[in-house]
Amino acid sequence: MDVVQPGVRAGRRYPVLDDPMALQLLAGLDYPFEERFGLPSAFNSQAQGLRSRCFDLAVQAYLADRPEATVVALGDGLETGFWRVDNGRLNWLSVELPEVASLRRTLLPPSDRLHTLSGSASALSWLEGIEDPAGRGVVVTAQGLLMYLRPAEVRRIIAACAERLPGGVFVLDSVSRWLAKGTVAGTSKVGGMTVPPMRWAMDPGERRKLRGAHPAITEVRALRLPRGRGAMGELIRVQNLLPGVRTLTPAMTQLRFGG
């Protein structure tokens, strides 16, 4: 979980992400982040910030047309996206496993428009609560989640959203097959932690295959990371665009559902 990263990136003098809620959250936590995850690297910290910013920009672009939309954040962890993009009108639903859902409720402040559903994103029961007869719109995000699910689960989640959320979009990040391989072998480490197995991976050239998940998917679009800070920021952005399969940062994709 990258809970350490928002504070690190947001606490910099020139942050790539404006995130006071993450700093507030971090200040209240007593957790040995460096012992567990090692010292944050300049590359990874900024890359994580730019990835979150890219999600925010996609959500904000959707909200520009549909300000009362529901944002469903699958595997939201202790992310603070709600406070970063809140326009005072949207509704936000975090879908998280029970232990983390309970942490979210304990550690983050409540809002009438913020709901946390305890359960697996794969169970799809969260979809029951977000029928959208008034056409306010739904944007689903899966940040740092799908790689930890099985390919069949990923396909099922995307297909169900395409079926049930006409006019909606789905924003996701994915790791390359090369990056995932080491995690499945159990040889990828971050500080003292072995990275959990990433069972779903997709090389950038395979994006268009996502369209096959359901006929209602009308568009599959690569999203560019926003401009970062200094030479490191530029390096992150450029390598993220490379079509090669050894990119170090997750690729960003947006799916659009017709109807």
Ligand X SMILES: C[S@@+](CC[C@H](N)C(=O)[O-])C[C@H]1O[C@@H](n2cnc3c(N)ncnc32)[C@H](O)[C@@H]1O
The vertex-140 CA angle with 161 and 17, nearest 5°, equals: 165
Residue 235 CA to residue 89 CA, distance in Å, equals 36
Least CB distance to ligand X at residue 252 (A): 12
Pick between residue 159 and residue 167 the one whose CB is nearest to ligand X. 159
Query: Residue 172 is inside which H or E element, if any?
Result: strand 169-174
Least CB distance to ligand X at residue 67 (A): 23
What is the per-residue binding string for ligand X in 1-40, x denoting contact by CB under 6 A?
Answer: xx--------------------------------------
* Residue 118 lies near ligand X (rule: CB under 6 A): no
Pick between residue 145 and residue 161 the one whose CB is nearest to ligand X. 145
Sheet holding 70-74, edge to edge: 114-118, 91-96, 70-74, 138-142, 169-174, 251-257, 217-223
Least CB distance to ligand X at residue 46 (A): 15
Number of residues that bind ligand X (CB under 6 A): 18
What is the per-residue binding string for ligand X in 58-97, x denoting contact by CB under 6 A?
Answer: ----------------xxxx-x---------------xxx
Please report where in the chains the tokens 């709600």 appear, as a residue: 82
Largest Cα separation within the chain, whole Å, is 49
Residue pair 172/142 in contact (Cβ under 8 Å)? The answer is yes
Binding residue for ligand X, selected from 7, 15, 40, 144, defined by CB under 6 A: 144
Pick between residue 17 and residue 217 the one whose CB is nearest to ligand X. 17
Residue 93 CA to residue 184 CA, distance in Å, equals 30
Residue 201 CA to residue 147 CA, distance in Å, equals 6
Tokens, residue 9: 């990136």
| Residues of the shown chain interacting with ligand X in the complex, contacts defined by CB under 6 A | 1-2, 74-77, 79, 95-97, 100, 120-122, 143-145, 148
